[in-house]
Amino acid sequence: MSGLLHRVDVSTPGASTAANYPVFIGSGVLKQAVPALESFCHGAQVLVVSNSTVAPLYLDRLLALLPNKALSHCILPDGESHKNLQQAERIFTALSALRASRDVTLIALGGGMIGDITGFAASLWMRGVNFIQVPTTLLAMVDSSVGGKTAVNLAAGKNLIGAFWQPVAVFADTDLLDTLPARELSAGFAEVLKYGAINDADFFAWLEQNVNVLMHKEPTLLSEAIRRSVQNKADVVGRDPLERGERMLLNFGHTFGHALELAGNYGGILHGEAVAIGMLAAAHLSAQLHPNLAVDGQHTLRLQNLIRAFGLPQKPAFATRSEELLAHMKLDKKSLSGQLRLIPWRGIGQAYVGNASDEQILRAWAAIL
């Protein structure tokens, strides 16, 4: 591939989760990647799933790359509140109208919301069909399009039903980020810096050096940041596809963050913003757990500074209390038989799976609020 284009191969083991697929990354990769997008659509039929914001911007560009296919599209309303069974059913209705067979390909064109619901539908149509991810947000490029987690929400909670279902290819074209609102870009950088924070101190330092250029979407450095993030995720899901151990580290900041999303009724804060504040809370918790280890003010301060430099908040914009947030954390589906699993760290690049007392969690929240 050319100098600007990268390829990361994801390889997951396991009887039910075995898969190998490329993630193409870079400016113009949708058009220039080899093998071409069309070659990953095995049968003649292709259904592109997108939303009412992204489709007017990029649907025609995508369809033009598939001249030899029978093309259809299904455009869902924008917003996390639509990542539900009713909208998944619209995808099934579109597939039924096509009389889609087992060799149909679904293409998800959008952010994580579209990627998750399209993957969910692909995992179920005729017990599982081909699907391709074309992520259009930074968050989807570095996180949700890779690793095979698919889901929709129920009234009872986020992502409660879903399956592990891997795409056959991911095309992360940084040109599609041109139209992404600044706040969404920042939210994506929360997941990027997370990879450095959990197990890659060099990457964290590289981000500290390049944050200003990255915020201007400079294509070479942006592609490199995405490549390193995807490589990091690929390494982890390759060793632990079903999140039985190491993959849990990717939830750094997430149990704290999910509590904030719930406190804000899923409208008060973006996922990436909640993760940023959640990572800070995890750092404050870690400082209590390891007073004698490497978690000194410097690590927390560096995290705080990088979060600020990426335009991310350090506390929620709405009123909430530590006790309320602790109660929400206990509802999180990642708590195992009542025991809250947390991801503390021993400093930048040294996260691990652990737990803490209610008092320690409350003190961590108090340091944030």
Ligand X SMILES: NC(=O)c1ccc[n+]([C@@H]2O[C@H](COP(=O)([O-])OP(=O)(O)OC[C@H]3O[C@@H](n4cnc5c(N)ncnc54)[C@H](O)[C@@H]3O)[C@@H](O)[C@H]2O)c1
Residues of this chain that bind ligand X (CB under 6 A)? 51, 53-54, 57, 78, 80, 83, 110-114, 116, 136-137, 139-140, 143-144, 147, 149, 159, 176-177, 179-180, 184, 187, 271
- Short-list 65, 57, 11, 60, CA closest to 34: 65
Residue 100 — left, alpha, or beta (φ > 0 → left; ψ -120 to 50 → alpha)? beta
- Short-list 163, 166, 161, CA closest to 85: 161
Residue-wise burial string across 236-274, b where 16 or more C-beta atoms lie within 10 A, e elsewhere: bbbebbebeebbbbbbbbbbbbbbbbbbbebebbbbbbb
Catalytic annotation on 233? yes
CB of 269 to ligand X, least distance (A): 12
CB of 73 to ligand X, least distance (A): 15
Whichever of 175 and 208 has its CB closer to ligand X, that residue is 175
- Can you read off the two tokens belonging to residue 359? 């008092």
Catalytic annotation on 324? no
Catalytic annotation on 251? yes
- Short-list 105, 42, 41, 48, CA closest to 72: 48
Q: Which residue is catalytic, options 6, 82, 149, 228?
A: 149
159 sits in which H/E element: strand 157-164
Helical segments of 125-218, H only: 138-139, 182-199, 201-215
271 sits in which H/E element: helix 271-289
Catalytic annotation on 290? no
Catalytic annotation on 127? yes
Whichever of 137 and 231 has its CB closer to ligand X, that residue is 137
CB of 54 to ligand X, least distance (A): 5
Q: Which residue is catalytic, options 191, 224, 261, 273?
A: 191
CB of 147 to ligand X, least distance (A): 5
Q: Which residue is catalytic, options 227, 251, 261, 284?
A: 251
Catalytic annotation on 6? no
Q: Which residue is catalytic, options 82, 83, 227, 247?
A: 247
Catalytic annotation on 80? no
Residues annotated as catalytic are: 127, 149, 191, 233, 243, 247, 251, 254, 258, 271
